[in-house]
Every structure is written in structure tokens, then in C-alpha cells.
Amino acid sequence: GGGSFFSSLSSRNSAITRLAKTRCNVLLIIRPDEKIPSYPKHMSLRGSNVDDSLFPLESLFRISRITRTVSTELDVDGTCGLTNSRWPVIIIEVYSVSCFSEAMETLHLQRQLRPNELLTKVE
């Protein structure tokens, strides 16, 4: 619905089914980077099919592709319930990249770390 945001660690089919139920117009696909991946922590919240994926603070998200399509194009096999109506959907695909060493270097240079904290974080 308007103003709502759903997140999910789910299959593409499950995400598209949820998109159909809420008539959402954006599908965000987050994949770990191949060379320096950043992985989320998963939290299950109260409620049906509601969960959160929290990424570490040093994560950056590199946009790989933004595509415009219509809802019916997402449901190629007809199992997600998108055949009754059409609406525009934007698919945003990003890679999650870990920038731990860069983040620690910046904090160190800005004197934002306590004495020996950099060494503790690296270990």
C-alpha cells in the first residue's frame, strides 16, 4: 500500500507475490558483491511475512541495473497473481559491498576511534 515498505529474505517468486498483493511499484534486489561481499543480519518481526534485513554500517550498495517494466511481465509463469491488472514497476538491482577497511581508516583519520579500538576491530 501507499507509504508502506516490505522487506524480505525470500525467493524472487515470493517477493513478486508480495508485490502483487500490495500493488507495490518498486522491486529492490540486493545481492552480495562477488569480490568483497557484505551480508545482512536477519530479524523476524511480528506479523505475517514481515522481516528486516540489517546491513553493517560499513556496507555500500553499488547499483548494477535499474529497469522499468509492468507488473504482468514479472509473473511469467502466472503463479503470482499479477495477471488481473497491470501497473508500472521499477526493478532496482544492487550489490552489497563491504568497505570495512575503508570505514575503519576514515574513522581513524578523523580520530573517531578510542585508543586501541582500531586494533580490536581488525582482530
| Domain membership flag for residue 101 | yes
| Domain membership flag for residue 7 | no
Whole-angstrom distance, CA of residue 106 vs CA of residue 53? 25
| Domain membership flag for residue 3 | no
For residue 42, what are the domain limits?
A: 12-122
| Domain membership flag for residue 46 | yes
Helix (H, G, I), strand (E, B) or coil at 108: helix
Residues contacting 103, CB < 8 A, separation 6+: 57, 58
* pLDDT tens for each residue of 48-91: 555 677 888 889 999 999 999 998 888 767 666 556 778 899 99
> At residue 1, does pLDDT exceed 60?
no
> At residue 92, does pLDDT exceed 90?
yes
| Domain membership flag for residue 2 | no
Give the total number of structural domains in the chain.
Answer: 1
| Domain membership flag for residue 34 | yes
| Per-residue pLDDT at 23 | 85
Task: Report the candidate in 96, 102, 122 with the shortest Cα–Cα distance to residue 35.
Answer: 96
| Domain membership flag for residue 6 | no
> At residue 93, does pLDDT exceed 90?
yes
- Quote the mean pLDDT of the chain: 81
| Domain membership flag for residue 18 | yes
Indicate the pTM of the whole model: 0.71
| Per-residue pLDDT at 79 | 64
Between 7 and 11, residue with greater pLDDT:
11
